[in-house]
Amino acid sequence: QIKESATLTRDVLEQHFSDLKGTLKKLLDERLMSLLQEVDVIEQESIKPLDECQKLIEHGVSTADDLLREGESAVDGDVGTQNEKLCNFTKKALHIQLDSLPEVPSLVDVPCLSAQLDDCLLTVLKNQIFRHGTVASRPPVQLEEFVEKPGGILVRWCKVDDDFTAQDYRLQYRKSTAGHFEDVYVGSETEFIVLHIDPNVDYQFRVCARGDGRQEWSPWSVPQIGRTTLVPHEWTTGLEGYSLSSRRNIALRNDSQSCGVLYSKAPTYFCGQTLTFRQTVGQPDRRDSLGVCVEQRNGFDSLQRDKAVCISTNGAVFVNGKEMTNQLPAVTSGSTVTFDMEVVQLGPCSNEGGTFKLRVTISSNNREVVFDWVLDQCCGSLYFGCSFSYPGWKVLVF
């Protein structure tokens, strides 16, 4: 592990600084080109009026030179043509203003380009570069526990550096050791149920943290393998009145007038596990139900019946069809309802009734009720189910 992580760390450092050098060179080249373009623009804008002034001066000198040669020719000619040439020369000389020149700017008004380069940039960069990056021998957070869930894994992690104050955690996973890690949770909790996990398949997990007030994430924890052997919970397909998601773990009460209990595909809930329902609410009815039962029974419109325990959407708790005195808060949108069961008595059957007793805990909105559920038969696994009178209810089970 030490050699492998050291090799990986070297590769990460070399790749990062190689990318950094390439980026810095690109930025410096872009800045150089920008400054050179500024020089070109100033040069072109400043030299244009001077070029025009020079052209005017050169044109005046050329005109004066031509006039001078014409005057010399008039003086040197014979008497007959001399008067005519002198007359033409005089007229032309009167029209040409030889003493008029364009205004030439003074030397102090003419731009003189220079480059100002602050050497303190190197000092700033040097200080930043020498503080850039750290090498940690141990990540501040590590994976702690994997708990099997039906079609999922409950992942727990903990902080192992007492001096590190965590603001957020980031959990990633990937199937087996192939492919890329994907974010599955970012938040302040130290546990998360990862759903849509295929049974009996290895998944690799890792977690990191972000310090309080920091933007960068800490080094990743040591990757660990987690798996579940429990098949996912699924609703039964084909019942009119309910539409299911592609994975059949979400049921939606549709607009159909048909009513009845939607059961699980199989008895996949076992004692010792936690069964969780998370719902979006619709219009409540006192016959609504969420719960577990020994067997599927058609012809009922609710789990408020024999061999079943359930909670109504108004918070009433029913055991074998009888309403309990204790009541939970009404079901709200986004809240969770959980069922936990454990065997507390198991004995031979007698004429006086069942001796199979389950200790049931139902929790909802930070409240819970605990009671014993007596059955006349041993049940290693149970069905779960739901019923709603009105459309709009949506239930995720895990």
Report the CATH number that the domain containing residue 263 is assigned in CATH.
2.60.120.920
Residues 110 and 159 in one domain: no
- Beta strands 141-149; 224-226: pairing state: unpaired
pTM here is: 0.60
Q: Indicate whether 291 and 373 sit together in one domain.
A: yes
Q: What is the pLDDT of residue 63?
A: 80
Specify if 237 maps to a domain: no
Largest Cα–Cα distance of the chain, in whole Å?
Answer: 163
For residue 314, the model assigns a pLDDT of 94
From residue 106, give the alpha-carbon distance in Å to each of 50, 103, 111, 140, 242: 11, 9, 11, 69, 91
Residue 340 has pLDDT above 90, yes or no: yes
Do residue 42 and residue 156 come from a single domain?
Answer: no
Of 199, 228, 257, which one is at a domain's C-terminal end? 228
> What pLDDT, on the 0 to 100 scale, is given for residue 2?
81
Mean pLDDT of 279-286: 93
Q: Average the pLDDT over each of 76-85, 121-130, 261-270 and give the range with the smallest value.
A: 76-85
Lowest mean pLDDT, pick from 287-296, 341-350, 383-392: 341-350
Sign, Cα dihedral of 214, 215, 218, 224 = positive
**Cα gap 60→70, rounded to integer Å:** 15
- Stretch among 299-303, 350-354, 359-363, 376-380 having the lowest mean pLDDT: 350-354
Q: Are residues 101 and 207 in the same domain?
A: no
Domain carrying residue 39: 1-131
Which one, of 290, 357, 385, 375, lies nearest residue 328 by Cα?
290
The percent of residues in the chain predicted with pLDDT above 70, rounded, is: 92
How many folded domains does the chain comprise?
A: 3
pLDDT at 140: 92
- Quick one: which of 323, 308, 312, 327 has its CA closest to 369? 327
Q: What tens digit of pLDDT does each residue of 66-76 get? A: 777 777 777 77
Within-domain flag for 149:
yes
Name residue 329's amino acid: P
Do 276 and 223 share a domain, yes or no?
no
- Does 152 lie in the same domain as 100? no
Q: Are residues 251 and 387 in the same domain?
A: yes
In a domain, 236, yes or no: no
Final residue in a domain of this structure, among 131, 165, 187: 131
Span 145-168, mean pLDDT? 92
CA angle, 292 as apex, 238 and 279 as ends, to 5°?
70
354, 377: one domain: yes
Q: Using CA atoms, how far apart are residues 325 and 385, in angstroms rounded to an integer?
A: 23
